[in-house]
Amino acid sequence: MTVMLPEQAFLHHRPRVVQILEVVDEAPHVRSLGFKDKLSASAKPGQFAMVWAPGVDETPMSLLPSGNDDIVTITVKERGEGTRALLRKKRDELIGIRGPYGRGFGYEGEKSVLMIGGGTGAVPLLLLLRSLAPKGVECSFILGANTSRELLFSTEIQRLCIQTGGFFRVTTDDGSAGTRGLATDEAARLLPARSFDCVYTCGPEAMMKKAIDLAEHAHVPAQAGLERIFKCGSGICGSCCIGPYLVCKDGPVFSSEVLKGLPEFGKSTRDPSGRPVSIATP
């Protein structure tokens, strides 16, 4: 039996400095930064890294390994000082990485799945889609955004869904692409009419709460990737707590069975001071 030494087990906690190899504009105020890092390249769908903009702050970011030569992408949306600093980064500049952290999406042999993504929540779902497509899983995807300009990775998502025999649907709040409305509006129409083994969702929490409720009503198990304020990323500071759980360590992906027992889910989050803040519903 191979025993992992403590030195090996905690390598992912050690910050690594990586060089940005590629910068891609994805949408207004959204950019992808590509870099090479062996540990990050081992990330499972739904796992994240703590990304450091030198001299500014660390920010939790979903990891999107390319599967090629340890190249990994993070997709940054402007949300605060740390993300603004990352958005200013250029090719060949340096950033810091810790991780991967957390529990990702679980796959238990499902044959037909539905993914519901909104905004940058498309990133971990895309990695899940990439991993399930070669397994012969029929993957369908509902991708939502405010406008057509904010849709992320729609070309690859559509290609992979078609490849698996699934369908791809787009919704936008303003009707500039696909169906006008919310991703969960489309899910409400499709879930009763189709048979799925699991629903996976990631995006704004109010959207995920509705998706989980719809899956529950359709008697389909579901998993959601939550987002909270992470200061340490490794279960030490407690700033990301929800009920008895730490999102960075016990999640960020939770099953619908767990989530339905958490009154905070979809209703409130916490600000940097730890104070509860109501989540706006669409």
DSSP H/E element including 49: strand 48-53
3-state SS assignment for residue 215: helix
CATH entry 3.40.50.80 includes domain 112-278: yes
The class (CATH top level) of 6-100 is mainly beta
Question: Across residues 159-163, what is the average pLDDT?
Answer: 97
Question: Across residues 110-117, what is the average pLDDT?
Answer: 95
182-200 pLDDT tens trace: 999 999 999 988 889 999 9
119-139 pLDDT tens trace: 999 999 999 999 999 999 999
Question: Domain coordinates of the chain in residue numbers?
Answer: 6-100, 112-278
234-255 pLDDT tens trace: 788 888 888 999 999 999 999 9
- Whether residue 118 contacts residue 185, with contact meaning beta carbons closer than 8 Å, is answered with no
Handedness of CA 109, 62, 219, 183 (dihedral sign): negative
Whether the predicted pLDDT of 218 surpasses 90: yes
Quick one: what percent of the chain has pLDDT higher than 70? 96
In this prediction the pTM is: 0.93
Question: Across residues 99-118, what is the average pLDDT?
Answer: 93
Q: How far is the C-alpha of 228 from the C-alpha of 271, rounded, in Å?
A: 9
Q: How many residues does the chain have?
A: 282
Q: How far is the C-alpha of 94 from the C-alpha of 66, rounded, in Å?
A: 20
